[in-house]
Chains A and B, each alone.
Chain A
Amino acid sequence: MLPELSDHLLQGWPAFFGAEAAPARLDYMGLPGSLEGGTTTFLAFAPGRKVPVFCVKAHRASGAERRAFQEAETLNYLREIGISGVPRGVTHGSIDGTAYIVSTILPGKPMSIVVGPNGIPVAESARMNFQKAFSWLERLHQTSRTHGEIAAPSAADWSLLRREFSDAFPASQAQAGFLDLIGEGLAALREGFLQHGDYCRHNILVSDAEGEGALQVIDWTDSRRSGWPLHDHFFFASTYYLQARRSPGLEGFLRAFEDTFFSEEPYAQIVRAAIRDSASRLGIRSGLLALFGVFLVERALFERRQLLACRERSGLPRFAAYIAVADALAFESAPDSQLWIRFFCEAAEKRKLLIDVGWGN
């Protein structure tokens, strides 16, 4: 597939890359994609050049052309409305049944994190990172607003989501109460947000440039033109130090989630305040808890769908298999008892704290 893609790009080089001289050939470096994400990435190198020329993302499953097209559309839209710091979509298509998208390479390194001796992110460093990450999202939403209203997900959308969630995950009384509260809080929603879908540290590149050029955001595979507000804010916060946590296993993940949202430590206070303040600047002054709840519902369902697809195609990722061992789960139930549903349950139990700090409806 890649040799055919190379031929296609080299033959049409000026159309794809402008005045830049076409190389004699291209060599590809394969990078790991997550198993559940369903894509694999190759960086293309030209002889004599020290950095890659472009990036190819290929979808493993057949019939993924729509996903590649959707990502290309989002990248085109972002450039049209003047958002800098995102890749340029060069071309997309399908070769031998493999869907792909080719995009430009952006400078910078993934946002780094400083973890203190207690295993929790250092407050001041976290404050700066959250400020940068949320400023970028605010610019994105404010710019996209000036180019046309993004329709808010409707009450019917929430009903469908809730039904799918309840079918997949039987709810306790506390969790059912949380779902009711979410529905009430979403009723006043007036606007949707363009959603990156995987807005985590690894997809945010930081360079030495000043101002708007300091952050570059990559990997728009799971992007949506219209989604629930603040989804990307919550995802950034939830995943901020998941990979850097000290404690292994499921307990480590749950502790990280608790330390991020439900602790009295400075780090959690910074996270809650950063989300509240950014939401306020975006015109959202109530209903944070409801939006947090719908975010967790969406993530739990998204993870379940991904795991069902993995299990069908080639098997569960390692961590899902680990949870299956820890909880003695059988084949049928393993995708239903993973990470994000546990985060949802945690939030349902401890939501009072978030209400007390001003996230309520």
Chain B
Amino acid sequence: MRLVSTQRASGAGLGARAAAVGWQKAWFEFNVERVRRGEPLAEDDRVADWTLLLSLKNGATSLVIGCEWATAALTLAMRCARLSAVDGSVEKIEFLKIRAAQQNVTNINAVYAPPRMPALFEGGPFDLIVVRDIPEGWPISLSHLIETLRENLKPGGVLSVSVSNTWCPLSGASRSAPGRFPENSMIGCRRQLARAGFDSVQVYGPLPHHWGVSLFHIPLDEPAPIGFFFKSIFPLFNAVSPEVKRGFALELVLAKIAARAAGLPGAARLIKYFLPGYQFIAKLRSQDLNAA
């Protein structure tokens, strides 16, 4: 049986193909076409692993901005009462809807992003807001984003936002990353979140990058995990397959430099400021002091 290729690597037609033959087959063909072109897989189950870091109470409602190829949104939907998803890609929204229908996930409301970011999102306020990829035309300023999304969160709600690091030597490469991410330093992000009323902030360094499938999620609030990563985990990369070495050639070189630097006294505490990007998981104060 010959391989059927009906989609460009961008996903055009993926939704229609998924509706016709089932999402699994359409997804297989889509990814095989990507591999044929030398591109990585669009995503896989591992893209949702980080969601285990979240606590979602019964009846929680969520908003996902930038649903990628549906895996993380569906995973979250299965743990929530209701999930709203917004994306600037018609193909991604279509594919999410079809996957949800075929997987009997009925609590997702997926919409194509309007030209302007709304002040208030339909279905809010939410217990959780996840920002992975900002639609074209929406403001990319982190402060604007945080201020707007704060108004869409319940008191005590959680915001998860992926940010490109302006201090990273790879920041030029980050700009060619698939998707739009706000840019800031780790210190700057923390300051803005605190100003906006988020008083419990966890920061993670997703490696090798903060989009798509992150292979490692390193907590950065204490120095020990990143020191442990470079001392004990990273050396294992000498043993990875030639395919992985090719796929992450630049990242591996930089990580080797970082691993050597991490051996210097105090260096592990500094390396975290230069990672390619971050994921912040921040909890809004339970009492909105601004309303007082």
Task: Spell out A's residues near B (CB within 8 Å).
Answer: 1-4, 27-33, 35, 40, 42-43, 45, 47-52, 58, 60, 62, 96-98, 109-110, 112-113, 201-202, 242-249, 252, 310-319, 321-322, 324-325, 328-334
Contacts and interface: CB of A to CB of B under 8 A. Distances in A.
Contacts of A331: 24-25, 28-29
B41 A318 contact: yes
A317 B44 contact: yes
Interface of B: 1-4, 24-25, 27-29, 31-32, 35-36, 40-41, 44-46, 48-50, 52-56, 71, 78-79, 202, 214-219, 221-222, 224-225, 227-229, 232-233, 235-236, 239-243, 246
Given A1-B52, A3-B54, A45 B222 contact: yes
A315 B31 contact: yes
A321 B228 contact: no
B100 to A, nearest CB: 14
A47 B53 CA distance: 17
B32 A318 contact: no
Contacts of A312: 24
B243 A249 contact: yes
B53 A28 contact: yes
Given A52-B228, A331-B28, A29 B46 contact: no
Nearest to B244: A243
Contact of A35 (B27, B44, B218, B224): B44
Given A29-B225, A52-B228, A334 B45 contact: no
Given A4-B55, A318-B35, A321-B31, A30 B50 contact: yes
Given A45-B219, A109-B232, A315-B28, A60 B45 contact: yes
A29 B52 contact: no
A325 B36 contact: yes
* B contact face: mostly helix, strand, loop, or mixed: helix
A168 to B, nearest CB: 16
Sorted nearest first, the 10 A-B pairs with minimum C-beta distance are: A30-B217, A3-B55, A27-B219, A330-B1, A314-B45, A32-B215, A248-B242, A40-B49, A331-B25, A331-B28
Contacts of B35: 318, 321-322, 324-325
A4 B55 CA distance: 7
B99 to A, nearest CB: 10
Given A32-B46, A50-B227, A243-B241, 17 more contacts: A27-B221, A32-B216, A50-B228, A109-B232, A110-B236, A113-B239, A201-B239, A202-B239, A246-B242, A248-B241, A315-B31, A316-B31, A318-B35, A319-B243, A324-B3, A325-B35, A328-B3
Nearest to B1: A330
A331 B3 CA distance: 8
Contact of A112 (B218, B219, B239): B239
Contacts of B216: 29-32
B4 A96 contact: no
Contacts of A29: 216-219, 225, 228-229
6 contacts: A1-B54, A27-B219, A30-B216, A47-B222, A62-B78, A314-B71
A70 B152 CA distance: 44
Contacts of B1: 330, 332-333
Nearest to B25: A331
Nearest to B74: A314
A315 B27 contact: yes
B46 A33 contact: yes
Contacts of B50: 30
A201 B239 CA distance: 10
Contact of A318 (B214, B219, B243): B243
Nearest to A95: B52
Contact of A96 (B28, B36, B56, B243): B56
Given A30-B216, A51-B228, A324-B32, A2 B53 contact: yes
Contacts of A329: 3
Contacts of A1: 52, 54-55
A96 B79 contact: yes
Nearest to B227: A50
A179 B71 CA distance: 41
Nearest to A45: B225
A321 B225 contact: no
B222 A27 contact: yes
Contact of A315 (B36, B44, B218, B228): B44
A3 B202 CA distance: 12
Q: Which of B27, B214, B240 has the most CB of A within 10 A?
A: B27
Contact of A28 (B32, B215, B219, B233): B219
Contact of B242 (A202, A247, A328): A247
Nearest to A39: B49
A43 B242 CA distance: 27
Given A96-B79, A321-B31, A315 B41 contact: yes
Contacts of A27: 202, 219, 221-222, 225
